[in-house]
Amino acid sequence: MTTKVYERPASLIDKTTHYCGGCGHGTAHKLVAEAIDHFGIRDRTVGVAPAGCSVLMYEYLDVDTAESAHGRALAVATGLKRANPDLIVFTYQGDGDLASIGLCETIHAANRGEKVVVIFINNAVYGMTGGQMAPTTLIGQRTTTTPAGRSVVNEGGPLNMAEMIAPLNGVTYCERVALFDAKHVRKARKAIFKAFEIQLNGGGFAIVEILSACVTNLKMTPLAAQEWVADAMVKQFPLGVFKDETAQGDGDAV
């Protein structure tokens, strides 16, 4: 007797990926697709992808998708959701996009409480454009623009986006998760489901920050890159719920 152990989400297109081996984007796409299928919202969902590794998101998710200029995903998402409040709108952004060139859009959309979901992939580097330092690059981490390693004196410290965003009044939900093992993938899945459920229930800004490995720019094997996320990134970016206004009390990072 054959036992089915996995079924591709209907919202995930059966297509060979362009992402590098060991990259977390494919897993994140699957989790988003599972959430869309779970809530039965494929026909009313619109994703917004800016420049970066996420730019070809429409190749993998079978939902309507809008492209935005680099950093402007939340500006586009705001327009889509306000023009048609019945849509389920999400952005899918990297750290160079959301925390650097799009920092203004991010902070103000969160502060206004725009009713959108943000899937924020934090891999601590500009992945697609050549491996430059991102706002989330760790101290001592070597990139093409910090060949000797990022230093507090020269470049300042990394930005902890979840901690910055959570205190804003318009934020309903803010959680940081990771993808470096099966246990944490399950936690990421739960967080993404919750973020979409909040929008379905009319809640405000919901963001899930996902720690993920950029194998190519780390110049590591996939296994070593996952270990680096678990050991190095989590020290700088602790996992946990930073705000949850759907609960009786706000959560704390754990």
- Per CATH, the homologous superfamily of domain 25-244 is Thiamin diphosphate (ThDP)-binding fold, Pyr/PP domains (3.40.50.970)
Q: What is the mean pLDDT of residues 33-62?
A: 94
Q: What is the mean pLDDT of residues 63-79?
A: 96
Q: How far apart are CA 144 and CA 131, in angstroms?
A: 6
pTM here is 0.94
Q: How far apart are CA 61 and CA 65, in angstroms?
A: 9
pLDDT-derived band at 252, boundaries 50, 70, 90: very low
Q: Does residue 254 carry a pLDDT above 90?
A: no
Pairing verdict, β 117-122 and 88-94? parallel
Q: At what angle do helices 73-83 and 103-112 cross, to 10 degrees?
A: 30
What whole-number percentage of the chain has pLDDT above 70?
Answer: 96
- Please report the pLDDT score of residue 35 as a whole number: 98
Considering only 33-42, 126-135, 223-232, which range has the smallest mean pLDDT?
126-135
pLDDT-derived band at 235, boundaries 50, 70, 90: very high
- Please report the pLDDT score of residue 251 as a whole number: 40
Q: What is the mean pLDDT of residues 140-147?
A: 92
Q: How far apart are CA 208 and CA 199, in angstroms?
A: 13
pLDDT-derived band at 248, boundaries 50, 70, 90: low
Q: What is the mean pLDDT of residues 156-160?
A: 96
Considering only 12-21, 37-46, 47-56, 123-132, which range has the smallest mean pLDDT?
123-132
Q: What is the mean pLDDT of residues 160-185?
A: 97
Angle at 58 between CA 57 and CA 64, to 5 degrees: 125
pLDDT-derived band at 172, boundaries 50, 70, 90: very high
Q: What is the mean pLDDT of residues 212-217?
A: 92
